Amino acid sequence: MNKDEFLEQQIKQLLQTGSDKQDLEKILGELKEIMKKIDDRSPEETIEELTNEIKEKSQMFLDKKNQDNESIITALSTCIYLPSLTGEYKLKFIGGKTSDGLDVNEETLFDIASITKMYTLLLTFKLEELGIIKLTDKISDLDSRFIGLEDFTIEDIILLCGELYTKGNPKDGKTKEEAEKILETIYLKSNDRTRNLYTDLGAIVLSKTLETVLSKYLNRQVTFDEIMEEFLLKPFGLNETKFNPDNYNLAGNGNTLGLVHDPKSRALGGNVGSAGIFTNSDDLAKLAKQMYIVDYCNYNALKNLVSKKNLDKMGTVTFPNSAQSNKGLLGGYQKHPDRENKWLDPLAYADKTFTFQGFTGAAATFDPTNKIHNNFLVGAIKDGAPKKDALFLETFRIYQQFIVYKTLELLIVKKYYEFINTKEEIDATFKI
């Protein structure tokens, strides 16, 4: 098989997984140029050419200013991660300043806001697989504080069914106890199970319910962050992922207090199922590896993993005809069948790709079919700000698309080197 035939085969395989034809056509010209020169270069030279362009675009994204000449982002850590049995690529592009004005480095932790819901979802699946809970369990049976949820189950919560309201807003509680009392007033305005409606409240209630369940199961009082640590973070080796970090090498939260940005999470102690996690690009790449490794191993022999069946659910469209049809379990974005105006989950990636995004601007994308992971950790919000700068969203969309295209080019380059039996490991950080 010559290089042209190899490239044609790879494009065909991507199309078969659900990659968008128009997107693939946009990178085909660059791929052909790369393949022309690839045999005359070492892998390091080929990767250098690709990474130089990524560094340049990352710098432009970081340097973008709004009309008031303020930076729309103050910190950036972007990662492209491609794991495999024959050698993984992990490329990180970092720059900017932490909340305390220090240079961002590989250890800098970012407030990932609603990406926390992805961890809550994975934890819920893990506890189900261990037999500690069932998705059909009623919330009110597990925790009598939430009697207002009537017959709603864990599954209803993660599907974002119905309409959930509280009498007051937990963020207005002057103490953690006051905030929790407001949360306990939660009730169903609608119990419609035929559509979804995005809300933080379900994930918060789920985390509080899991505290009650696991305290009984372990015969000791445990908090949500302790449950997350014991059943997900520690087994997955995510040592830098945490709630309420006690160091100040932090970014993305918009404040210098070391506190989570989200006001409800902050009022409730900073460790709930909807927001509160801080992490870095390395730990998100480790998480991707743990997600994808189920294809390579005996799942039953490694009980710390999450099953492929449950991972598939995370990228499956649950309510295709709902108003928020591109939002799936606990609010993760999914590739929608109509492919129109569903931009956050890249159309260039395979079906069952999913993306979680946080209010702070951070995003994490996982394509389990092609073993692709991208994360975008940013400082894009000011403390107490009602929303991000509109220019940030516009610029992020362009930057994300660029990273997606470069990731696919790297994927095919990597596969070509594997095809000619050149195996390598790349773990590089580029300061921008």
Please tell me the least confidently modeled range out of 194-198, 312-316, 341-345. Answer: 341-345
In angstroms, the CA 357 to CA 12 distance is 30
168: left (phi over 0), alpha (psi -120 to 50) or beta: left
**pLDDT tens string 364-416:** 999 999 999 999 999 999 888 888 888 999 999 999 999 999 999 999 999 99
At residue 302, the pLDDT reads 56
Q: According to the 3-state scheme, what is the secondary structure of 148-167?
A: HHCCCEHHHHHCCCCEEECC
The C-alpha atoms of residue 371 and residue 86 are separated, in whole angstroms, by 13
Spatial separation of the C-alpha atoms in residues 113 and 123, rounded to whole Å: 17
DSSP three-state, residue 21: helix
Q: Which one, of 327, 380, 382, lies nearest residue 356 by Cα?
A: 327
**Cα→Cα distances 10→19, 62, 146, 337, 404, Å:** 11, 33, 51, 23, 16
Residues 6+ apart with CB under 8 A from 279: 109, 110, 112, 238, 240, 241, 242, 377
Residue that is written with structure tokens 């207090």 in the block: 257
pLDDT of residue 370: 95
Question: 């962050």: which residue's tokens?
Answer: 225
Instruction: Note whether 73 and 380 are within 8 A (CB).
Output: yes
Per-residue pLDDT at 30? 93
From 281, 283, 276, select the one nearest 234 (Cα to Cα).
283
pLDDT tens-digit readout, 75-91: 999 999 999 877 899 99
Please count the other Cβ atoms lying within 10 Å of the Cβ belonging to residue 22.
10
Looking at per-residue pLDDT, the higher value among 86 and 136 belongs to 136
Helices within 293-381 (DSSP H only): 308-314
Q: For residue 373, which of 73, 115, 192 has the smallest C-alpha distance?
A: 115
pLDDT level of residue 298 (50, 70, 90 thresholds): low
DSSP 3-state assignment of 385? Answer: coil
Q: How far, in whole angstroms, is CA 131 from its chain's centroid? A: 26
pTM of the predicted model as reported, rounded to 2 decimal places: 0.96
Judge whether residue 299 has pLDDT over 80. no
Q: What is the pLDDT of residues 355-371, one digit of tens each?
A: 999 999 999 999 999 99
Could you give the angle at which helices 43-63 and 21-37 cross, rounded to 10 degrees? 130
Nearest to 38 by CA among 411, 410, 407, 413: 413
Quick: pLDDT tens for 318-368. 887 777 777 889 999 988 766 555 557 789 999 999 999 999 999 999 999
Q: How confident is the model at residue 152 (pLDDT cuts 50, 70, 90)?
A: very high
Residue pLDDT, tens place only, 217-239: 999 999 999 999 999 999 999 99
